[in-house]
Chains A and B, each alone.
Chain A
């Protein structure tokens, strides 16, 4: 009979607080991760939106090619018009 009471006391005074303490630690850790993950997600989405204009590089590429072609044509004309040094 005495051993049963001792077991009850151990359950209520030792085991239950330890279980609650450990589980609360796990829960707090999981909850502390959530805001960080949400920030990472929002940053990734913002980074992805920032790269929307990367497609315009194709236009820049075409413009550079046209500009260099024009400069080459202009340089060729100058080469004919102007005397060499």
Chain B
């Protein structure tokens, strides 16, 4: 065989060897890519499956919360009146009066009284929820017990004998109901059961 033929065979063998080496290495790299993509697909499928019910659940939660907001807004406006309700909410959440109540568009135009500057938050809560609160004893018939201009002096007037440290323990509330140890007959002691 001539020398040129031998050299050609060697060259072809070298080329084939290079092809085999690089193509096999490429195949291994592509196999790793395939495995990684399989893992990624399984993770994405997990995300899809786990997030599928989120929309319905969140929509239901929002629906219930909307109902709660409607209920509380309506109750607050009904009991406190529009102006005081807006003032109360604005006192608790400054700036909320500008947004107004969701179900009461006219609340946006109400000039909110600066309740938080007149009464403290705790006093407000007591005044609205319990008529026994000291601030409610003179309200709403009388003037405000605290004057915003002379707030500290008015506040001291609430407790002229000194601020009480702790209330006396009250007797426990009676147990009521059909299984209570003491049964009160209907209408006893002049009770008006019709108002309950």
Contact = CB atoms under 8 A, between A and B. Distances in A.
Interface of A: 1, 4-5, 7-8, 11-12, 15-16, 19-20, 23-24, 26-27, 30-31, 33-34, 37-38, 40-48, 51-52, 54-55, 57-58, 60-61, 64-65, 67-68, 71-72, 75, 78-79, 82-85
Nearest to A66: B64
A32 to B, nearest CB: 9
The CB with the most chain B CB atoms within 10 A, among A38, A43, A48, A65, is that of: A48
Nearest to A72: B71
Interface in B67-90: 67-68, 71-72, 75, 77-81, 84
A16 B15 CA distance: 6
B22 A82 contact: no
18 contacts: A4-B2, A5-B4, A8-B11, A23-B21, A26-B22, A30-B33, A37-B36, A37-B40, A41-B36, A44-B43, A44-B47, A45-B46, A51-B46, A58-B57, A61-B61, A67-B68, A68-B71, A79-B75
Interface of B: 2, 4-5, 7-8, 11-12, 14-15, 18-19, 21-23, 25-26, 29-30, 32-33, 36-37, 39-44, 46-47, 50-51, 53-54, 57-58, 60-61, 64-65, 67-68, 71-72, 75, 77-81, 84, 129
A48 B67 contact: no
A26 to B, nearest CB: 6
Contact of B11 (A16, A20, A41, A52): A16
Given A1-B4, A64-B65, A84-B79, 5 more contacts: A1-B2, A23-B18, A26-B26, A40-B36, A71-B68
Contacts of A43: 43
A71 B142 CA distance: 32
B85 to A, nearest CB: 8
Contacts of B64: 61, 64-65, 68
A61 B60 contact: yes
B11 A44 contact: no
Contacts of B18: 16, 19-20, 23
Contacts, number: 151
A53 B40 CA distance: 20
A4 B8 contact: yes
Given A8-B11, A68-B65, A27 B71 contact: no
A64 B26 contact: no
A41 B42 CA distance: 8
A78 B67 contact: no
A23 B23 contact: yes
